[in-house]
Structure 1
Amino acid sequence: METNEQAKAKGGKRRRVPIVCAVVAVVLVCAGGGFYVWHNQPSFCNAICHEPMDYYVDGYYGEGDAAHAQLAVAHQQEGVTCLQCHEATLEAQVNEGTAWVSGAFETNADGSLEPQLITADKQQCATAGCHDWNDVVAATENWDGQAGVNPHRSHQGKAIDCSNCHSVHGQSVMYCNTCHSWEVPEGWSSPAK
């Protein structure tokens, strides 16, 4: 038979279980929220994967070789984070994690990742809240003082996209100068002919 003191002890334990469960749940929710916030920061990308992500995070903050940071820094200054352009799907993250753990990724001489069919087109860059395509076209009318010339209204149409010229993590290239001899913006290069 149970004594009065044993019954009180059991009742106290029963009351503590929901409290302990609630505290554990709150801690897990806070930890999950904190991880989610950190995951959305550029520093997350190179916290574990220093090689090769330091190159990109340094460029985003304008550190290291400034030539690779031009557009990354401009995005950082506008408050645009990496994940606003690089969608972090579960499949992509599993593939990236597997490649990093196995060392199955290639880097260029400058330490950056070898591009893997990554392009930036009008659909990605000229979406609501990002670049307004009409403003971009208007800003480059009569390029290099030549009436009717506009690199953003190319005679090649959809054959070229934003990343043919603009490189967020590298030096931008005046793609038009593959054939033309137009003025090259400061910090850009011309393609080899």
Structure 2
Amino acid sequence: MGEEEKRRFAAAPPAQKDALSETASNAQEKRGRVRRRWPIAVGCVAAVVALAAAGFFVWHEQPSFCNAICHVPMDNYVEGYYEDETLCANAHYREGTTCLQCHEPKIDEQIAEGIAWVKGDFEVDERGDIATVGVTADEKMCATPECHDMQDVMAATQDWGGEEGVNPHDSHQGTPIDCSNCHGVHKASNMYCNTCHDYETPQGWTDPV
């Protein structure tokens, strides 16, 4: 209350003083309520943001996130993951393996992919798959404690096709042969060894042209 207001209050009749006191008290109480409300409002906003972030994180972990926006070229990959039983990707789905367990999300790569998608800076083949890809799966990616044990894999394919000493997973070429040279994951697998050899080709696989 300013000096002028104090003088008017002192000169006012008792009834008016009561009214002025009540008005001042109400104003002070209102200011107090406003001060008490803003932390609640901030807390509510923070809770909503946290829930939205948690929901986005859960969605980001799902394969459907990949083609929710980027229908081209991701539709084929997601549909194959869920529906095409001839693909390694679908075999992973049936085992409960999600996309991000293999495709580790890295922010710099995701930004680069997002920019490429916005600019249309990619090519697709006649199926709608990305036309140019590098090594998509190697031993470092696949042979992890949570996934495949290479010793078990090599033991399972020893003397492949009944031919003694033949083992596609223990190639005489060594490390230059990556998993994705044979295992297509998102496309038909290809018996890469038969570029030179004539080994038994698994059912559903192709041979090198």
* Bin for the TM-score computed over the shorter chain: over 0.9
Matched, 1:43 2:64: yes
* Aligned ranges 1:4-153 → 2 under 5 Å: 4-62=25-83, 66=84, 70-153=87-170
- For this pair of structures, how many residues does the alignment match? 188
The amino acid that maps onto 2:128 is G
Alignment-mate amino acid for residue 40 of structure 1: E
CA distance in 2, matches of 1:4, 1:90: 56
**1:147-181 CA-partner distances (Å, limit 9, x unpaired):** 11111111111121111100110010001111111
Identity %: 55
The RMSD of aligned alpha carbons is 1.3
Q: Does 1:172 align with 2:189?
A: yes
Post-superposition offset of 1:32: 0.2
TM-score by length of 1: 0.94
* 3-state SS of 1:158 partner: coil
Gaps of 5+ in 1: none
Query: Structure 2: how far apart are the matches of 1:121 and 1:87?
Result: 14
Runs of 4 or more, structure 1, over 4 Å off, are none
Q: C-alpha distance in 2, partners of 1:145/1:34?
A: 52
One-letter amino acid of the counterpart of residue 101, structure 1: V
Q: Which digits, 9 at most, give the CA deviation of each residue in 1:110-151, with x for residues without a partner?
A: 100123323311111001110010110010011010111111
Query: What is the TM-score with the length of structure 2 in the denominator?
Result: 0.87
Q: Distance in 2 between matches of 1:22 and 1:178?
A: 64
| Aligned mates of 1:81, 1:115 — CA distance in 2 | 23
Alignment CA distance shift 1:115-1:86 (3 Å):
farther
In the alignment, the residues of structure 1 paired with residue 154 and residue 194 of structure 2 have an alpha-carbon distance, to the nearest angstrom, of 18
User: Is there any run of 5+ residues in structure 2 with no aligned partner, and where?
Assistant: 2-22
Matched AA of 1:129: E
Output the CA distance in 1 between the equivalents of 2:54 and 2:123: 33
Pairing 1:184–2:205 present: no
3-state DSSP of counterpart to 1:105: coil
Looking at structure 2, the residues matched to 7 and 172 of structure 1 have their Cα atoms a distance apart, in angstroms, of 76
More contact order relative to length (CA 8 Å, sep ≥ 6): 1
Q: Within 2, Cα distance between the matches of 1:27 and 1:115? A: 41
Over alpha carbons, which structure has the higher Rg?
Answer: 2
Letter of the 1:110 counterpart: R
The one-letter code sitting in structure 2 at the alignment partner of 1:98 is I
Among 149, 160, 167, the residue aligned to 2:177? 160
